[in-house]
């Protein structure tokens, strides 16, 4: 298949994925963007013309400087502080900027520091080119929202878009122009720590969340007021690392690459993403940051990406460590010629060797100009040449807007997933219990509720689960808390270093704290027990060999249960965990993820029935680590009836299926109907159902559509998500929900024919409230076997 056909196929597929997804917008403070100073929207054509005029004036050294980015480590720490052991030195970058050796910095987030660097760049360099300032604005800036896997659990792209729009407005007000987000890696192995940063296992859900986040961060064009450039990462396959070990190699067939791992990137690019970050790891034995097939043939040829590509941190230097490049100069040549446009570095930039490599004829000047042009274009489109500075007063007003905190609370409420609720143990009745215990390592830990490296002073203001419950029961019950256990990692992480040292408990302290927790439980009427992982146990360098609850949490649970008091579990975590000895012992489990600035308020409102949980699991939940990787979209195999007997020593079914979540009310979903029996070439089929709230409370249901191709030129997964919609219904209310399918929904990448194909035949369709949906219909795809155009 030709590259243009492939590109159209991928982009059309992502467009169809998003056709049923609503969008939303939020009012923007015009002071949060340089666009408010009178700079109009700059077209791509005008940006190219301006960039080319500037390129003609630049020396080779100035060009290489523009495609070099450096960490400003000092910006991560308070003034006068020293970097923790293991972190790069906090070397001032003033001279590097003054010498035009850098075109971009990352981690600058204070208006005064941003203005200082911009002043040097635009007043003390020959060509007065402003800096591009980037930051990890992943799930918030000053206002922190649920972590991305929690956002995905909402099955609410419009809500996630609004959250990212708020984060963008705060970041832009602080002088940040670009985020290294969203992370759109598909992750099917929960041992991988960075699963917390993505949307889980499913390419359809992942594509919807990727596009929503790009729209939220970036607006409808690069340079939109109050928005920043989105940088989806990590291209591509990073989430498939062997053994779930961060940074290890990944091995993907073309079928997996095109059908599973590329769709979220295609959706992000179709939504207008201006930047892409390459990945660290080897993909099929070639490092992703020097992989021409990935960065040029697929990213630009197949997906039609037009922005600039940045490496992950020090990935060019790493090409030597990976045994791929002979030395730093060779690494730079390989990266730039493969398709990298900008190097991100924590050390002296490897790209500085490009000056000599160009002069030696190893890199064409045309390739350097191409990379520089892309960087200059985004600076023009952002309006940085007209106004590179930050209004500090406006920044404080925007980042402290109380409406943002309320939006974070709503987002947290919508991300909650009710995993178990035997005997209607939830919701609790406020005031029915006069003494409430909130126990656990995360119960009153602000840093585990939210995390803001830019505003660590705001973390203490976060509403923890204990604080949220205390506020909810103020005046009607006594609420007490104690941790009971202490959690720590065997191997410290960079995040743990940034959060600061923690003094380990002695054995005597641990015994005393456990005793204290049991005593509190014994004198209470109900126990809210927070279990899970500390926040530094997720994200980068946070892979796990086991998914069991860390520390003595099982011991704590058993001791609290032995008091005979009712126990409700609230999970706080960034990945599915092994719930052996938990799931079967407690009546109710509420999944809260790391819920953000007002997460404790959201949890309390759900526990006491002020809101009705409506989220769904964005990942399949294994019973134990031995089932990993497990995901719903598996192939049938030659023994489909024996799928539940794959292991002889344990059930082969997951503990909790993908797309699952309970409610305080009940719903019925009627058998689906199709408006026509045949999906003809170029045609459409509408699959509809009626969902009814049959309970006594208002609530949300996520109606999900799955399809399966019965036969064709390649084995296809047992079912694939191809539509979802979250609906809110009052008691007794019904609503029709419809999904439109066309050829984009039934095409797939064929690994033998090496192209997108459509097979005629019978397709099953199920509608329900999880991947176990059983309300069934079918339709026929007509026509001859064909390539998808």
Fold of 667-787: Immunoglobulin-like (2.60.40)
User: pLDDT tens-digit profile of 610-648?
Assistant: 999 999 999 999 999 999 999 999 999 999 888 889 999
Beta bridge partners of 700: 728
Phi, psi of 90 (to 5 degrees): -90, 65
Q: Which CATH superfamily is domain 3-57+135-384 in?
A: Glycoside hydrolase, family 3, N-terminal domain (3.20.20.300)
Intervals of CATH 3.40.50.1700 along the chain: 405-620
Report whether 502 contacts 443 (CB < 8 A). no
Mapped onto helix, strand or coil, the DSSP state of residue 23 is: coil
Query: pTM for the whole thing?
Result: 0.94
Q: Which CATH superfamily is domain 405-620 in?
A: Glycoside hydrolase family 3 C-terminal domain (3.40.50.1700)
527/446 Cα distance (integer angstroms): 20
DSSP 147-163: -HHHHHHTT-HHHHHHH
**Residues annotated as catalytic (active site), given as ranges:** 312
Q: Is 86 exposed, middle or buried (0-12, 13-18, 19+ CB in 10 A)?
A: exposed
Report whether 195 contacts 250 (CB < 8 A). no
Please list the ranges in the chain whose pLDDT falls under 50: 1-38
Residue 591 has which token pair? 């999944």
In three-state form (DSSP H/G/I as H, E/B as E, the rest C), the secondary structure along 532-546 is: ECCHHHCCCCCCCCC
Beta bridge partners of 775: 767
427/431 Cα distance (integer angstroms): 12
Which pLDDT belongs to residue 9?
Answer: 39
Intervals of CATH 3.20.20.300 along the chain: 3-57+135-384
State the Cα angle at 526 between 524 and 530, rounded to 5°.
Answer: 110
DSSP 358-404: HHTTSS-HHHHHHHHHHHHHHHHHTTTTT-----HHHHHHHHT-HHH
Which pLDDT belongs to residue 281?
Answer: 98
280/239 Cα distance (integer angstroms): 11
b (16+ CB within 10 A) / e for 546-584: ebbbbbbbbebbebbbebebbbbbbbbbbbbbbbeebbe
310/71 Cα distance (integer angstroms): 13
Which pLDDT belongs to residue 450?
Answer: 82
223/217 Cα distance (integer angstroms): 11
Phi, psi of 571 (to 5 degrees): -90, 135
Which pLDDT belongs to residue 90?
Answer: 77
Intervals of CATH 2.60.40.10 along the chain: 667-787
Query: Which helix (DSSP H) or strand (DSSP E) does residue 355 occupy?
Result: helix 354-359
Q: How many CA atoms lie within 13 A of 766 on its CB side?
A: 15
């Amino acid at each position: 298949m030709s590259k243009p056909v492939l590109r159209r196929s991928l982009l059309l597929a992502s467009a169809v994925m998003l056709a049923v997804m609503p969008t939303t917008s939020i009012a923007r403070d015009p002071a949060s963007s340089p666009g408010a100073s009178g700079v109009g929207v700059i077209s791509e054509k005008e940006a190219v013309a301006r960039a080319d005029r500037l390129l003609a004036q630049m020396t080779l050294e100035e060009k290489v400087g523009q495609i070099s980015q450096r960490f400003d480590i000092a910006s991560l720490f308070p003034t006068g502080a020293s970097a923790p052991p293991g972190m790069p030195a906090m070397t001032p970058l003033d001279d590097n900027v003054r010498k035009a050796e850098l075109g971009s910095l990352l981690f600058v987030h204070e208006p005064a520091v941003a203005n200082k660097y911009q002043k040097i760049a635009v007043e003390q360099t020959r060509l007065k080119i402003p800096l591009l300032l980037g930051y990890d604005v992943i799930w918030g800036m000053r206002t922190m929202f649920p972590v991305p896997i929690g956002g995905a659990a909402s099955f609410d792209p419009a809500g996630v878009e609004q959250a990212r729009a708020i984060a963008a407005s705060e970041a832009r007000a602080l002088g940040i122009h670009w985020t290294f987000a969203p992370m759109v890696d598909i992750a099917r192995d929960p041992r991988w720590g960075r699963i917390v940063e993505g949307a889980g296992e499913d390419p359809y859900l992942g594509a919807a969340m990727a596009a929503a986040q790009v729209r939220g961060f970036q607006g409808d064009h690069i340079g939109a007021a109050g928005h920043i450039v989105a940088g989806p990462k990590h291209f591509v396959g990073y989430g498939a690392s062997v053994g779930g070990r961060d940074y290890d190699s990944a091995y993907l067939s073309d079928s997996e690459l095109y059908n599973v791992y590329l769709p979220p990137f295609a959706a992000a690019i179709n939504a207008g993403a201006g930047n892409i970050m390459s990945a660290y790891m080897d993909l099929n034995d070639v490092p992703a940051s020097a992989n021409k097939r990935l960065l040029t043939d697929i990213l630009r040829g197949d997906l039609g990406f037009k922005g600039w590509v940045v490496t992950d941190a020090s990935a060019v230097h790493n090409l030597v460590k990976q045994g791929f490049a002979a030395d730093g100069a060779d690494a730079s040549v390989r990266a730039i010629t493969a398709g990298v446009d900008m190097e991100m570095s924590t050390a002296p930039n490897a790209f500085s060797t490009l000056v000599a490599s160009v002069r030696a004829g190893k890199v064409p000047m045309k390739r350097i100009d191409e990379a520089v042009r892309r960087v200059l274009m985004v600076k023009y489109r952002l309006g940085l040449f007209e106004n590179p500075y930050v209004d500090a007063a406006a920044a404080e007003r925007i980042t402290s807007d109380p409406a943002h905190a309320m939006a974070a609370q709503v987002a947290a409420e919508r991300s909650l997933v009710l995993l178990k609720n035997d005997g209607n143990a939830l919701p609790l009745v406020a005031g029915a219990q006069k003494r409430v215990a909130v126990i656990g390592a995360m119960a009153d830990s602000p840093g585990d509720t939210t995390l803001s490296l830019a505003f660590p002073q705001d973390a203490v203001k976060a509403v923890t689960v204990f604080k949220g419950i205390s506020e909810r029961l103020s005046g009607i019950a006594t609420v007490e808390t104690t941790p009971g256990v202490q959690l720590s990692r065997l191997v410290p992480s960079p995040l743990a270093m940034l959060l600061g040292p923690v003094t380990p408990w002695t054995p005597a302290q641990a015994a005393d704290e456990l005793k204290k927790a049991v005593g509190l439980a014994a004198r209470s009427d109900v126990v809210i027990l927070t279990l899970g992982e500390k926040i530094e146990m997720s994200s980068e360098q946070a892979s796990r060999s086991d998914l069991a609850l860390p520390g003595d949490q099982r011991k704590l649970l058993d001791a609290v249960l032995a008091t005979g008091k009712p126990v409700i579990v609230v999970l706080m975590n960034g990945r599915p965990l092994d719930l052996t000895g938990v799931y079967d012992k407690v009546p109710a489990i509420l999944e809260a993820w790391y819920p953000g600035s007002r997460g404790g308020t959201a949890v309390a409102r759900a526990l006491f029935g002020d809101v009705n949980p409506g989220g769904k699991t964005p990942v399949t939940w294994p019973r134990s680590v031995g089932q990993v990787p497990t995901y719903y979209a598996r192939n049938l195999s030659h023994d489909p009836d024996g799928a539940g007997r794959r292991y002889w020593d344990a059930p082969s079914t997951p503990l909790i299926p993908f797309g699952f979540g309970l409610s305080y009310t009940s719903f019925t979903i009627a058998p689906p109907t199709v408006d026509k029996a045949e999906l003809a070439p170029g045609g459409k089929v509408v699959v509809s159902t009626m969902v009814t709230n049959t309970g006594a409370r208002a609530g949300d249901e996520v109606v999900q559509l799955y399809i399966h191709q019965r036969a064709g030129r390649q084995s296809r997964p047992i079912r694939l998500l191809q539509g979802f919609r979250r609906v809110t219904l009052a008691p007794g209310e019904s609503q029709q929900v419809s999904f439109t399918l066309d050829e984009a929904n039934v095409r797939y990448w064929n690994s033998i024919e090496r192209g997108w194909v459509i097979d005629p035949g019978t397709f099953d369709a199920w509608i329900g409230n999880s991947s176990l949906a059983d309300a069934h219909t079918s339709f026929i795809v007509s026509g001859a076997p064909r390539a998808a155009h």
